Amino acid sequence: MKKIEAIIRPEKLEEVKDALGKYNIQGLTVSQVVGCGLQKGRVGVYRGNEYSINLLPKIKLEIVISDYQVEDVVDIIKEAAYTGAIGDGKIFILPVENAFRIRTGESGQDAL
Protein backbone atom coordinates (compact mmCIF):
# COMPACT_ATOMS: atom_id res chain seq x y z
CA MET A 1 0.00 0.00 0.00
CA LYS A 2 1.05 3.57 -0.62
CA LYS A 3 -0.01 6.94 0.74
CA ILE A 4 -0.20 9.80 -1.74
CA GLU A 5 0.03 13.31 -0.36
CA ALA A 6 -0.74 16.02 -2.87
CA ILE A 7 -0.48 19.75 -2.25
CA ILE A 8 -2.65 21.59 -4.79
CA ARG A 9 -4.25 24.97 -5.46
CA PRO A 10 -7.56 25.43 -3.57
CA GLU A 11 -9.43 26.25 -6.78
CA LYS A 12 -8.43 22.87 -8.26
CA LEU A 13 -9.93 20.75 -5.46
CA GLU A 14 -13.27 20.04 -7.14
CA GLU A 15 -11.63 19.10 -10.44
CA VAL A 16 -9.24 16.70 -8.69
CA LYS A 17 -12.03 15.17 -6.56
CA ASP A 18 -14.23 14.66 -9.63
CA ALA A 19 -11.39 13.05 -11.58
CA LEU A 20 -10.53 10.72 -8.69
CA GLY A 21 -14.22 9.84 -8.30
CA LYS A 22 -14.37 8.74 -11.94
CA TYR A 23 -11.45 6.40 -11.18
CA ASN A 24 -13.48 5.07 -8.20
CA ILE A 25 -11.23 6.53 -5.48
CA GLN A 26 -13.66 7.00 -2.62
CA GLY A 27 -11.51 7.53 0.46
CA LEU A 28 -9.50 10.69 0.78
CA THR A 29 -8.68 13.27 3.42
CA VAL A 30 -8.68 16.98 2.56
CA SER A 31 -6.95 19.60 4.72
CA GLN A 32 -6.55 23.33 4.31
CA VAL A 33 -2.87 24.19 4.72
CA VAL A 34 -0.54 27.11 4.07
CA GLY A 35 2.94 26.99 2.63
CA CYS A 36 5.48 28.42 0.28
CA GLY A 37 7.80 27.16 -2.40
CA LEU A 38 8.95 28.64 -5.69
CA GLN A 39 5.83 30.80 -5.72
CA LYS A 40 7.30 32.84 -2.82
CA GLY A 41 3.99 34.46 -1.87
CA ARG A 42 2.60 37.81 -2.94
CA VAL A 43 2.38 41.43 -1.85
CA GLY A 44 -0.93 42.68 -0.53
CA VAL A 45 -2.21 46.18 0.22
CA TYR A 46 -4.28 47.00 3.29
CA ARG A 47 -5.35 50.61 3.94
CA GLY A 48 -2.64 51.89 1.66
CA ASN A 49 0.17 49.88 3.28
CA GLU A 50 1.94 47.06 1.48
CA TYR A 51 2.57 43.81 3.28
CA SER A 52 4.09 40.50 2.25
CA ILE A 53 2.14 37.27 2.33
CA ASN A 54 4.71 34.50 2.04
CA LEU A 55 2.52 31.59 3.15
CA LEU A 56 -0.17 30.90 0.58
CA PRO A 57 -3.34 28.83 1.10
CA LYS A 58 -3.17 25.34 -0.39
CA ILE A 59 -5.11 22.09 -0.16
CA LYS A 60 -3.50 18.87 1.02
CA LEU A 61 -5.02 15.60 -0.19
CA GLU A 62 -4.12 12.32 1.49
CA ILE A 63 -5.06 9.03 -0.18
CA VAL A 64 -4.05 5.49 0.78
CA ILE A 65 -4.26 3.08 -2.15
CA SER A 66 -3.02 -0.26 -3.43
CA ASP A 67 0.43 -0.31 -5.03
CA TYR A 68 -0.97 -1.04 -8.50
CA GLN A 69 -3.09 2.17 -8.45
CA VAL A 70 -0.25 4.60 -7.73
CA GLU A 71 0.73 5.50 -11.28
CA ASP A 72 -2.88 6.04 -12.39
CA VAL A 73 -3.78 8.16 -9.36
CA VAL A 74 -0.65 10.32 -9.70
CA ASP A 75 -1.43 10.88 -13.39
CA ILE A 76 -5.04 11.83 -12.56
CA ILE A 77 -3.94 14.36 -9.92
CA LYS A 78 -1.24 15.82 -12.18
CA GLU A 79 -3.69 16.29 -15.04
CA ALA A 80 -6.57 17.69 -12.97
CA ALA A 81 -4.43 20.07 -10.86
CA TYR A 82 -2.32 21.43 -13.73
CA THR A 83 -2.42 25.12 -14.66
CA GLY A 84 1.13 25.50 -15.96
CA ALA A 85 1.97 28.27 -13.50
CA ILE A 86 4.32 28.25 -10.54
CA GLY A 87 2.41 27.03 -7.49
CA ASP A 88 0.56 24.09 -9.06
CA GLY A 89 1.78 21.92 -6.18
CA LYS A 90 3.63 18.73 -5.38
CA ILE A 91 2.83 15.02 -5.03
CA PHE A 92 4.58 12.77 -2.50
CA ILE A 93 4.38 8.96 -2.35
CA LEU A 94 5.05 7.17 0.93
CA PRO A 95 4.97 3.48 1.87
CA VAL A 96 2.18 2.34 4.21
CA GLU A 97 3.01 -0.57 6.44
CA ASN A 98 -0.54 -1.47 7.43
CA ALA A 99 -4.07 -0.09 7.72
CA PHE A 100 -6.94 -1.01 10.04
CA ARG A 101 -10.66 -0.39 9.76
CA ILE A 102 -11.75 0.41 13.31
CA ARG A 103 -15.39 -0.62 12.87
CA THR A 104 -14.77 -4.14 11.53
CA GLY A 105 -11.21 -4.91 12.56
CA GLU A 106 -10.17 -5.56 8.94
CA SER A 107 -6.54 -4.90 8.15
CA GLY A 108 -4.25 -4.47 5.14
CA GLN A 109 -5.88 -4.19 1.71
CA ASP A 110 -9.26 -5.18 3.15
CA ALA A 111 -9.27 -2.05 5.31
CA LEU A 112 -9.03 0.23 2.29
Question: Between β-strands 49-53 and 42-46, what pairing exists: parallel, antiparallel or unpaired?
Answer: antiparallel
CA distance 53 to 92: 25
Q: How many CB atoms lie within 10 A of CB 26?
A: 9
Yes or no: say if 91 and 6 are a contact pair by the CB < 8 Å rule. yes
pLDDT of amino acid 41:
63
Question: At residue 10, what are phi and psi to the nearest 5 degrees?
Answer: -55, -35
Question: Going residue by residue through the chain (112 aa), what tens digit of pLDDT does each one get?
Answer: 999 999 999 999 999 999 999 999 988 999 999 887 776 666 666 677 766 677 789 999 999 999 999 999 999 999 999 999 988 999 999 999 999 999 999 999 999 8
CATH topology of domain 2-111: Alpha-Beta Plaits (3.30.70)
Q: What is the pLDDT of residue 48?
A: 75
